[in-house]
Structure 1
């Protein structure tokens, strides 16, 4: 009997170690680092977060047959809470409107960030995610900040969305702060600057790298951000790590602010708040889980 109980205890200990130890190890390696820089408030400001509407990771010639995907959770939740906590009104939109597909693995016990866990308890944001606004019906110039969330789904529908391109163009020409993270900057590809030239041409920016895409083994998506943005004339910058998923980099070129991958949501959002005229209020504070 003692041997039985010892075995049960060892099994429970192993489960606990895996359940809490592996996420802690990933965090220590660089996944979803806590933001400890200056925070900004912009009461009365308005922010728009745009996500994909594409829900499956499709191989060429097999539409709708891939595994479930969508927006990568932290690339949506981290900026949302940064803007809400800054006192802004935040609208949530997607390419088609309606329910936003969320990458299931990104909300798993292994990968979920602080902001993701807050989302899982947030009835209001869950409702916004089920009933997102279609980008085609929006006036982008009403927002101080326009943020493009990433995830594998964005590789399928952000760059080809003409209403999104027109909205980004209008926001940029109206002097708004524009940006995004990971695959999100694909939504900038067809936008134009004030002179009618491609918005990204000659701009310093970042997004998910070719190396991260290769390391994750998903090379069949229709667009790869580093490849497409370089081809469009952007000055592409990035950080590196043994595994690129643990890297973090944010680039601000005037009113254009971009983050390299899923680790950059908080930093990118705070830089956008600063550039949009936010008031600096704290330093070295980790936002509480709510």
Structure 2
């Protein structure tokens, strides 16, 4: 029987300070999906359930990426009718891993969503892999390990860098700088690629549980996160 992965998308549809549309970032779901589609069973959830908006700017930015365009045109049912996160809490035992897709949206809802934080702690307590890419690791900042300490304590972790945020001109619209907070909560464990937009995927452990923690820095890291998640589930990528 194929392992089951819970995919979490943001429900945020606009940037509060600008009113511009946001959501989850297309290649950061498309590429891991491409890696996992024939190997795992995926269930997609979001805080509000229903239609989880893909960031329109990511559609434009990756219009020449065949993996992203094929996914966009053939897999819409995955995100137009997502489950509510709250419905997943009693079903944690059915899943083998959890994966947070990035985009600017998660910074506004998944960082502090109590249901999401409870899910992460449940996966950590059960020693199940936890993965996130780009801005997705913001969902881990306030999560705790079963012992009560921050989930990221002493972990090596990555996520969208301050340089990258500044280069896309979004730092002032963000509630916090992701790199700065990931480095603070992990106790200096943040790492990144040598150059902005370079691939960086990090496999670490959740404090006190042995649960595998997989993070990717940016869109270029999305495939690698999918590969490492498949490996963590004991499968061949």
TM-score for both structures, normalised by structure 1:
0.74
Distance 1:183 1:227 in 2: 12
Whether the 8 Å contact between 2:156 and 2:186 is mirrored in structure 1 is: no
Whether the 8 Å contact between 2:8 and 2:101 is mirrored in structure 1 is: yes
1:57 corresponds in structure 2 to 15
Whether the 8 Å contact between 1:155 and 1:224 is mirrored in structure 2 is: no
Which structure has the greater CA radius of gyration? Answer: 1
Q: What is the CA distance between 1:51 and its match in structure 2?
A: 1.0
Q: Which moved more, 1:144-153 or 1:107-116?
A: 107-116
In structure 1, runs of 5+ residues without a counterpart are: 1-42, 60-64, 282-290
Whether the 8 Å contact between 1:156 and 1:223 is mirrored in structure 2 is: no
1:239 corresponds in structure 2 to 193
1:270 corresponds in structure 2 to 227
Q: Which moved more, 1:73-82 or 1:169-178?
A: 73-82
Q: 1:175-221: per-residue Cα shift (whole Å, max 9, x none)?
A: 11001101000111222223221101110010000111011111121
Distance 1:47 1:190 in 2: 22
In structure 2, runs of 5+ residues without a counterpart are: 206-211
TM-score for both structures, normalised by structure 2:
0.90
Please say if 1:211 is aligned against 2:163. yes
* 2:32 pairs with one of 70, 79, 82: 79
Relative distance call for 1:141 and 1:188 in structure 2 (3 A) is: farther
- The runs of at least 4 aligned residues of structure 1 exceeding 4 Å deviation read 109-112
2:21 corresponds in structure 1 to 68
Whether the 8 Å contact between 1:49 and 1:80 is mirrored in structure 2 is: no
Distance 1:233 1:79 in 2: 25
The CA RMSD measured in Å over matched residues stands at: 1.6
Distance 2:67 2:60 in 1: 13
